[in-house]
Structure 1
Amino acid sequence: MVSKKTVLIVPPNDPEAVLISQIAKKLEIPRIKSNQPHGASLDKEPKILQKIREGGWKRVVVVEMPGPKTEKRLREKGIEVVIIDHHRYDRLDRAVHPKTGKLLPSSLEQFLKLFRITDRKLKAAGFDPKLVKAIGLMDRGYVWELMKVGYTKAGIRKVIEYQSELMHSVRGDMRNEEKKNQLAREAWEKREVWKKFFIVRAEQPIEIRSRISLIVALEVGKPTPLIIEEAGRGFIYVQESDYAIQLFKKFGGFTFGMDRNWGYRNQGKAARVTVEVVQKFLSFIL
């Protein structure tokens, strides 16, 4: 049984985080749900110190919400802070184990281990353990991790459908999602080829990265180097390459997917990182 002195802080902004939140609710693990989108930070969470104080919690488990300042303040107050994460951020490496230096598993896998959630407990709570584990594998290394353990295309589609169900549970009306899927398809059809990469661009302020990744997984069927620019949102990504760490060291941003993928968000007055800027940098190392 989970101690009532422990609270989980999670932003249900992707399938993995939604599932973590749902499991926590079913197992009656105290939780604070953040409404922040991707890029969530404990330092930006409204009244979080007040909520923790009022809850009387002595142990805080934070899922993918890096916030060094708030983490420090909590520890100074004698509160234990446990980090669940597997990404690299600007000036903050949470992709590897601090002692072994090995890449960490997905946040869902870490969550299940930390709270000792067995298949039996998942079944009793109404979850399919195989699907739960598949979501963890997807977040760790995307479709390619599922393929490694023997998933067929039909099995992969089932996992993807489950991901959609998870997001539907927090987004509600999914009609707008179909429009985004269509825009992603149009962007893919207009893709450019540069060296070993496909370049995909979207001017609209929508997220296409995950949708492009899905198209590639189901239609190309193998890890494919991509440069994806979401100009309307200010994001740029380089996926399925050996250069994620070098890009991270050069520009900052974040890594994901076993350090095979890199992303950067353009904001403020800093010089923009565009496709052309990335191409110029990669030209020196390709």
Structure 2
Amino acid sequence: PSFIVVASNLAGQLLALSYVMENTFLGLPGQARRFFVTARLLANLVWIVGSLRHISKHNHSQEIAKNLFGLLLKRLTHIQTEFGEDFNLNQLGDFQSRLQRAHDNTTVTTITPLFDYIESFVPPAVDFRNLLKRSDAVIIEPAYQSTTEQVFNSEFPLRIRIIADVFNVADTGSIGVQVTFPDQKVRQFWPPSSQFVLIKPFYYRLKTSIEISQSSWTAKCSIEIKIIRSFETDIPDLDECILRQTITRDVVSTTSGGTIALSKSILWDDSLRFGQTSLDN
């Protein structure tokens, strides 16, 4: 019973971890992709366990459960389409046939054997002996330390210069800047490749400026800034739903994919006020 209670959160954590590993390490072996998609298959199944707990008293619980297993079949089909004969379903035992039976005739009798897969799950073997390097970023500017309160006119955009070092990335096209405002609204900025200067292989320096606007905010407040990396999810709508089940600020899901934090957040800064007066020197 305790596993069922935390199943949805565990599924979200496992799914998030699989995307973090796949999108923040440089030098992953070719077979790692197979490992990640199989882990997501497990996360999907664990999520269904948690979902069944919530729908058990619903008037249309059988129909909802059938739809959930249909989504899992969709993921399995996606895996088979991507890997073809290279993906060995024998390692899943009779999981596919059990899943099809649970979908076609959704009863306790057909569902229960499917969950044996959770206990017997063995991930595909992956050789991680290659040297892996984790993608990372450090924000150099802004490093604002104010001793006096700064008041900005909320009617005009505020320009912030961003300088950051980005390490162990092969492609800067997915690197961006995320700003979280005092009211927790979030904006993302995606600098063009010309604003990333190659220092040495897989090491870039980002130099860009962002313009932000904020409605009147009369109390002291902070703007949170961090460097992020975007990624595409395998099954966008489904994975977005599962990722929402876990509480983490490092992985944020969107309708088409998600973002991963590469840098620590900086607060710029706790002496800001957005008011109706111009910049106070």
Task: Identify, as 1 or 2, the structure richer in strand.
Answer: 2
TM > 0.5 fold call: no
More relative contact order, 1 or 2 (CA 8 Å, 6+ apart): 2
Task: Identify, as 1 or 2, the structure richer in helix.
Answer: 1
**TM-score, reference length from structure 1:** 0.24
